[in-house]
Chains A and B, each alone.
Chain A
Amino acid sequence: GAVVSQHPSRVICKSGTSVKIECRSLDFQATTMFWYRQFPKQSLMLMATSNEGSKATYEQGVEKDKFLINHASLTLSTLTVTSAHPEDSSFYICSARGRGTDTQYFGPGTRLTVL
Chain B
Amino acid sequence: EDKVVQSPLSLVVHEGDTVTLNCSYEVTNFRSLLWYKQEKKAPTFLFMLTSSGIEKKSGRLSSILDKKELSSILNITATQTGDSAIYLCAVVDTGNQFYFGTGTSLTVIP
Contacts and interface: CB of A to CB of B under 8 A. Distances in A.
Contacts of B45: 41-44
Contacts of A93: 98
Given A41-B45, A44-B36, A46-B41, A108 B99 contact: yes
- Contact size range, B: 20 to 34
Contact of A109 (B44, B48, B96, B105): B96
Interface string B69-90: 0000000000000000010101
Q: Chain A interface: which size bin?
A: 20 to 34
A45 B42 contact: yes
28 contacts: A1-B3, A2-B102, A9-B95, A9-B97, A41-B45, A42-B34, A42-B45, A43-B42, A43-B44, A44-B36, A44-B42, A44-B43, A45-B42, A46-B41, A46-B42, A59-B41, A93-B98, A102-B105, A103-B102, A104-B38, A106-B88, A106-B98, A107-B98, A108-B97, A108-B98, A108-B99, A109-B97, A109-B98
Interface of A: 1-2, 9, 36, 41-46, 59, 91, 93, 95, 102-109, 111
Ranked nearest first, the 3 interchain pairs of A and B with the lowest CB-CB distance are A106-B100, A46-B42, A108-B97
